[in-house]
Amino acid sequence: MKQEWLEIYSSLVKQIEPDYKRPLEVSRKVLCVSPHPDDCEIGAGGTIARATKSGVKVDLVVVTDGSKGTFNPHAREEEVASTRRREQEESAKVLGVENIYFLGVRDGELTFNYDVLNKLITIIRITRPDLVLTPDPYLPYEAHPDHYYTGRLVSAAVLFSGMPLFNKQDLEKGLTPHSPRFIGYYYTSRPNTIVDVSNYVEYKISALRKHRSQFENEDFLLFILKYMELSGSKIGVKYAEEFKILPVKLLHITPFIEYL
């Protein structure tokens, strides 16, 4: 994409969403959606800690129960699920997350379905975030359906949550429509926003350590740290996290949005 075209697109976007270059600075409420217990921490833990420490309210949704997240053939799904729920609660505390919504879909079995979509719409109307974080569903070679369906469901939910006829029963319960301003994709190969989390990396690591069932050895933690270092080197800081953040208003019929 030629630079001059990028500038033209950028000025078009500014007419619709003037703050699109500084989504984190203008967001006072954030909702992070995790396919499994631990994904928000891996993909955005530093950014979440940075947000909560500066007074931003962060809530969390965990879509599946993580019940198959083990290599132990003797493990029982219910036990794995309850361990991981407890670990998630402990980890969220470290990061300063306010509420956690567990949707309880069986691990590995998420599809694009209207039950989960409507639950996400309801949670968006309850928590009223400015920014919603979720895995990038367009990450090439991402093999896990829980991840790409979470990203797709959240993308649809932020689009529909502002429209009253979607999941209309919310309105009968007294909720009102709400459109988040931004969606931020973590686990992305096309970042447009790199967040300096150098001062918050300790929170992220201790949050990840709460997921004891997932991080029994240190190798994966070191891998995550190394990747954060590489991200940091792109903006001249020690540790960073990468996102593709887009204005929700353009998440539909906008052919150039992938270049933003």
In this complex, which beta carbon is closest to Zn ion, that of residue 29 or of residue 147?
Answer: 147
In this complex, which beta carbon is closest to Zn ion, that of residue 39 or of residue 196?
Answer: 39
Residue carrying the six token digits 């567990």: 102
In this complex, which beta carbon is closest to Zn ion, that of residue 19 or of residue 77?
Answer: 77
Nearest alpha-carbon partner for 101 in 80, 77, 120, 82: 120
Q: Does 35 bind Zn ion (CB under 5 A)?
A: yes
The CA angle 5-7-13, to the nearest 5 degrees, is 105
- CB nearest Zn ion: which residue? 36
CB of 36 to Zn ion, least distance (A): 4
Whether 61 contacts 135, CB under 8 Å: no
- DSSP SS3 for 165: coil
Concatenate the DSSP letters of all residues of 187-247 into one string: S-SS-SEEEE-GGGHHHHHHHHHH-TTT-SSSHHHHHHHHHHHHHHHHHTSS-EEEEEEEE
Q: Which stretch binds Zn ion (CB under 5 A): 22-30, 38-46, 69-77, 235-243?
A: 38-46
Structure tokens at 85: 């729920």
Q: Does 39 bind Zn ion (CB under 5 A)?
A: yes
CB of 97 to Zn ion, least distance (A): 17
Please state the separation of Cα 192 from the chain's center in Å: 15
CB of 113 to Zn ion, least distance (A): 18
In this complex, which beta carbon is closest to Zn ion, that of residue 36 or of residue 244?
Answer: 36
In this complex, which beta carbon is closest to Zn ion, that of residue 39 or of residue 136?
Answer: 39
Q: Does 211 bind Zn ion (CB under 5 A)?
A: no
Q: Does 136 bind Zn ion (CB under 5 A)?
A: no
Q: Does 36 bind Zn ion (CB under 5 A)?
A: yes
Q: Does 137 bind Zn ion (CB under 5 A)?
A: no
Q: Which stretch binds Zn ion (CB under 5 A): 39-47, 124-132, 181-189, 228-236?
A: 39-47
In this complex, which beta carbon is closest to Zn ion, that of residue 186 or of residue 203?
Answer: 186
Question: From CA 123, how far away is CA 46, in angstroms rounded?
Answer: 23
Question: From CA 68, how far away is CA 80, in angstroms rounded?
Answer: 7
Whether 28 contacts 130, CB under 8 Å: yes
CB of 164 to Zn ion, least distance (A): 33
Q: Which stretch binds Zn ion (CB under 5 A): 14-22, 33-41, 122-130, 159-167?
A: 33-41
Which residues make up the interface to Zn ion (CB under 5 A)?
35-36, 39
